[in-house]
């Protein structure tokens, strides 16, 4: 896995995920909401998406349905 997208509204958890997953040749992108996740996905491919199920104004399931 080279590219990982993390969708997590809590900044501390975002940082924890990034710290844990950035080891090695991985590119980790972290965002806090559905809108930012969709922007990150526009024109980019990710090998793995990790999302919280409760996002501001949307659900992580909304993101997965869109993807």
Query: Does the pTM exceed 0.75?
Result: yes
Is residue 51 within 8 A of residue 37, CB to CB? The reply is yes
State which H helix or E strand residue 29 sits in: strand 27-31
Residue 3 has pLDDT above 90, yes or no: yes
pLDDT, one tens digit per residue, over 27-41 is 999 999 999 999 999
Task: Summarize the confidence of residues 42-65 as an average pLDDT.
Answer: 90
Residue 37: what pLDDT? 95
Residue 1: what pLDDT? 59
State which H helix or E strand residue 58 sits in: strand 58-59
pLDDT band of residue 9 (cuts 50, 70, 90) is: very high
State which H helix or E strand residue 35 sits in: helix 34-41
């Amino acid at each position: 896995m080279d590219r990982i997208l993390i969708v997590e509204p809590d900044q501390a958890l975002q940082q924890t995920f990034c710290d844990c997953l950035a080891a090695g040749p991985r590119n980790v992108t972290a965002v806090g909401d559905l809108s930012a996740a969709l922007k990150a996905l526009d024109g980019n491919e990710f090998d793995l998406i990790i999302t919280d199920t409760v996002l501001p104004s949307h659900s992580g399931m909304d993101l997965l349905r869109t993807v």
